[in-house]
Structure 1
Amino acid sequence: MSRHRFHGDPTRFEVVAGFVADRFPDARYVADVAGGQGMLTRILGKRYGIECEVVDPRGWTLKGVPSRQEEYAASMADFYDVIVGLHPDEALPAVVDSARVRPVVVVPCCNFWTRAQRLGQAELLATIGRHHRGIGGGVEEIQLDFRGPKNRGIVLTPPPA
């Protein structure tokens, strides 16, 4: 158990890190978008040897966690091998748009996709999936093994070149 305090199930960082490492064994550089304190980044680096950095304008990272204190933009995606949005909040559209060029793992917590309609998590994932399929990309819905209602996500892969 971590000595750090987090909202939600703290095991989610271990679960997502393991998923990323297993699913993308050749990934060497990962963006942890809106990664808060950087626990996912820390685990990816220490346990799996994957270089990772938090991209989050809040600048809340733990000591020693690589980070960029700025808002994430989809134009940054080329710099990374995989983009991870574990509860990315307002960065959700940019994270999804990154899947035009890089694989994306996103586990949304809130509907920051559209302000025009309220979407629950299932509807949000379906909407993101339709959007990405519409540009020719690959979509796979996933359920991760941690507690809580926000453990469903989606893996997006870029459209064929």
Structure 2
Amino acid sequence: MSTAGREPLVVTLELADPVQELLDGLRRRWFPADRLVVGAHLTLFHALPGELLAEVLDDLRETAPEVLPLEVTGPVSLGRGVAVGLRSQELAAWHRELQRRWTPWLTRQDAALLRAHVTVQNKVDPAVARATLDELRGMVLPETAEGSAVAVWHYLGGPWAPAARVPLGATR
């Protein structure tokens, strides 16, 4: 498949281990296997213009915080799925700055307030999602996490193809 620049870009945040490993495991356990195309991630932007990859990467490198602490707020119902909620003033401020820079390119979804979460299950029967939510509520989750890198992907109508990765902090 060609990734010549027309495919929309998805921008995601990866988390530092061991939280990333934990969420990857939960996602492998509960995400429908036929829909599992990428590991656990926090989606920052869903559909930026693919032809603007260079500008997106320049802005990410210019604005990426050195440290990105996150509070794990717990399990969240998505109706037909389940997520682990996250909260961070630093993440919210950075996301708003990127929205400001990319205003002309944003879809309605990407222009909205960020509701930070990592989806561990999606597009299942609501009863299955409720059972997963109950089980996840019984688990001990970490209280904090940290962003480790931003990944940029080409969305290929289902599968995602990696375009670039921008490390945060000391790994930069």
What is the TM-score of this pair, normalised by structure 1? 0.24
Give the structure with the larger strand fraction. Answer: 2
Answer with 1 or 2: which has the greater Rg.
2
Higher relative contact order (CA 8 A, sep 6+): 2
What is the TM-score of this pair, normalised by structure 2? 0.23
